[in-house]
A and B are shown apart, each in its own frame.
Chain A
Amino acid sequence: MLCDICKEQIATIHYTEVLPNSEPKKMALCESCAKEKNLLFTPQFSVADILKGLTQAVQAEEEDSEKSCPRCRLTFARFRKGGRLGCASCYEAFQPKLQHILEEIHREKQHIGKLPKSAASEPSKAAQLAELHQELKQAIDREEFEQAALLRDRIQTLKDEIRGGKTRK
């Protein structure tokens, strides 16, 4: 694929341009054109800078960056600046925005892997959920789609139960 700008060199940088008042446009550029457009990462960038980039998109949608975590009082604006959350409750307090950020970083939204023994020993719904997700992933890897569909339904039921449980409380 040739660069969209110079049409001479091989394109190695692919990105989607989102400009105000226009449709997102897929772009493919060569390194030198990307450099001219200031698209390449400068060597000096930090996690905080990346997060700022990610959170800007979120902020455009919602203008409540002054919202703060009820437990540690960290504001979302402050988190954007420092890149660090203040406590475990921040994840709930900033849930929708953080969800978006997590997906941008990891391209996934469900934890798969180790569970604390306290969550794993009693057959808690949370632990079951994580386990089902793991099984689902394996089923998809093995291309057992019928099994995967069953698992997906069980996950949905369990999620509804968890949510139901929370509102009752």
Chain B
Amino acid sequence: MNFEELLKGKKGWLRGDGPGSEIVFSSRVRLARNLADHLFPSRATPSEKKEVMEEIVSAINSIPHFRNCTILKIEELSEIDRQLLVERYLISRELSNKKAGSAVIIDSKEVVTAMINEEDHIRMQALMPGLRLEKCWEMINEIDDQLERLLGFAFSPQIGYLTACPTNVGTAIRVSAMLHLPGLILSKQIDQVLQAVAKLHLAVRGLYGEGTEASGNLFQISNQITLGKSESEIIATLEKVVLQVIETERNARKVLLKTNADFLYDRVGRAYGILSNAHIITSREAIDLLSTLRMGIDLGIVHELDRQAINELFILTQPAHLQRINGRELDAVSRDIERGNLLRSRLVKSKQ
């Protein structure tokens, strides 16, 4: 795999375009599938896991979508590279801790990935920038059709696709959107909105940290129920809710800009100032300030930067990315210094 290419980060959801992308960072649809004639990963021996992996890899290699894909065996990756894939949302933390028999397959556009032998035999996801749940589902649905013909998945007519955890049984689909909600946080409406969303049996999680303490003002909304509802129903419900949240966030930003413009300009200006001048900066501080700066771009307060640049910085300032860029292991203190260096060089360059 070409990690250097990954580090340039011009692909996948980082592009920051698509419908509603001033609020929706990314949309994701994930399907869990298991081969009918093998034990689930938690009960399989290492040799059975390898067998499963080979079967899946050869099936995937015959699918047009995966032409020029990258296949990475987890056990062959360094600690930092595994962490890097987690920071990119290309694999889960759970997969990054697996040993022999686990792998990830990444398509050439960095949109579709398939994790092999995570909790289930296959966890495939499509991840795109902006609100594009339908499009994600179309892609993953088609790939699922093709794989199913080659592999034969565990399925029951009563309870649907069989998964290692009963919480995924049925459609085995997880649909989620990552939302940037600084307006709702500043206007203190976030709790209300999140509670309303939770009442609809949807899960809300802060991306970095928990609950309303979420740093970076990033929240993921996803479905919890997978049985007794069709995929389209689940997607439509989530999309409807997300559209409402977007509307509320847009309004909150509008009101803030109208009634509290000085306050907003000040916050954005300070964030920009610290990010482009700090020499030592923690991950947490960087995320919070990048969030504020991104809002400044979305509101037209800052003109010389674009969303993609900020999206990249969200990722490039994470620990594994920093270490990969510097080509060596860094302790926490050195990371804070290198983070400062990276931010300064990137943001000052864009000012010129």
Contact = CB atoms under 8 A, between A and B. Distances in A.
Interface of A: 43, 47, 51, 71-74, 82-88, 91, 98, 101-102, 105-119, 124-127, 129-130, 134, 162
B192 to A, nearest CB: 12
B351 interface: no
24 contacts: A47-B165, A51-B166, A73-B43, A85-B40, A85-B164, A85-B165, A87-B39, A88-B162, A91-B162, A105-B225, A106-B226, A106-B227, A108-B225, A110-B227, A111-B159, A113-B160, A113-B173, A113-B229, A114-B171, A118-B152, A119-B155, A124-B157, A127-B157, A134-B230
B348 interface: no
Contacts of B158: 109-111, 129
Nearest to A88: B154
Given A106-B227, A111-B171, A129-B157, 15 more contacts: A85-B166, A86-B39, A86-B42, A87-B39, A88-B154, A105-B167, A107-B225, A109-B228, A111-B159, A112-B230, A113-B230, A116-B148, A118-B149, A130-B157, A134-B230
A82 B233 CA distance: 31
A9 to B, nearest CB: 16
A98 B166 contact: yes
A110 B228 contact: yes
B338 interface: no
Nearest to B120: A84
Interface in B142-192: 144-145, 148-149, 152-167, 169-171, 173
A82 B42 contact: yes
A124 B226 CA distance: 23
Contact of B165 (A83, A106, A107, A124): A83
Interface residues of B, number: 43
A114 B142 CA distance: 12
A88 B36 contact: yes
Contacts of B165: 47, 83-85
Contact of B227 (A109, A114, A127, A162): A109
A101 B158 CA distance: 15
Contacts of A98: 166
A126 to B, nearest CB: 3
Nearest to B33: A116
B231 to A, nearest CB: 5
A83 B42 CA distance: 11
Contacts of B117: none
B210 interface: yes
A84 B162 contact: no
A84 B36 contact: no
Contact of B40 (A86, A112, A117, A162): A86
Contacts of A117: 145, 148-149
B114 to A, nearest CB: 17
B159 A102 contact: yes
B141 interface: yes
Contacts of B149: 117-118
A43 B209 CA distance: 11
